[in-house]
């Protein structure tokens, strides 16, 4: 079965712009989480969506937002981009909330210049 699909794979944006990243979970998976990976910081939790509702949120500014659609696909938006937002953004899906069987996508590499 198809894995978690993230698009685009690579993005280059300039400071001040906004960006939208997309994540299609594994078919049947209803929970989608987003993580930011930067060198030295590891993976940091952004937020988790389940049944189109944000269920949990990490310690990121309000410029980071997301949503989930009825088909469980999720988008993440970052507004007013800063240089420090350059990172690998990973999406992970699981069957249910509190399901530890996370499957990660390959990520979107965002570079802010």
Partner 1 sequence: DQQVKQNSPSLSVQEGRISILNCDYTNSMFDYFLWYKKYPAEGPTFLISISSIKDKNEDGRFTVFLNKSAKHLSLHIVPSQPGDSAVYFCAASEGMQGAQKLVFGQGTRLTINP
User: What is the binding site for partner 1 (CB under 8 A)?
Assistant: 4, 31, 33, 35, 40-45, 48, 50, 55-56, 58, 90, 92, 94, 97-107
For 102, phi and psi rounded to 5 degrees? -65, 140
Shortest CB 107 distance to partner 1, Å: 6
Pick between residue 37 and residue 79 the one whose CB is nearest to partner 1. Answer: 37
CB-nearer residue toward partner 1: 18 or 38 = 38
- Alpha-carbon gap, residue 99 to 75, rounded angstroms: 21
> For partner 1, which is the closer residue by CB, 14 or 84?
84
For residues 91 and 9, the answer to whether their CB atoms sit within 8 Å is no
Q: Smallest distance from the beta carbon of 24 to partner 1, in angstroms?
A: 13
CB 92 within 8 A of CB 44: no
**Nearer to partner 1 by C-beta: 14 or 53?**
53
Dihedral, 7, 11, 14, 18 alpha carbons, nearest 10: 0
């Amino acid at each position: 079965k198809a894995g978690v699909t993230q698009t685009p794979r690579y993005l280059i944006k300039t400071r001040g712009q906004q960006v939208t990243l997309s994540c299609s979970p594994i078919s049947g998976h209803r929970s989608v989480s987003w993580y930011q990976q930067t060198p030295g910081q590891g993976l940091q939790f952004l937020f988790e969506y389940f049944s189109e509702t944000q269920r949990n949120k990490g310690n990121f500014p309000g410029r980071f937002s997301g949503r989930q659609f009825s088909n469980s696909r999720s988008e993440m938006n970052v507004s007013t981009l800063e240089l420090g937002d350059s990172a690998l953004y990973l999406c992970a899906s699981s069957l249910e909330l509190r399901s530890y069987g996370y499957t990660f996508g390959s990520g979107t590499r965002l570079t802010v210049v």
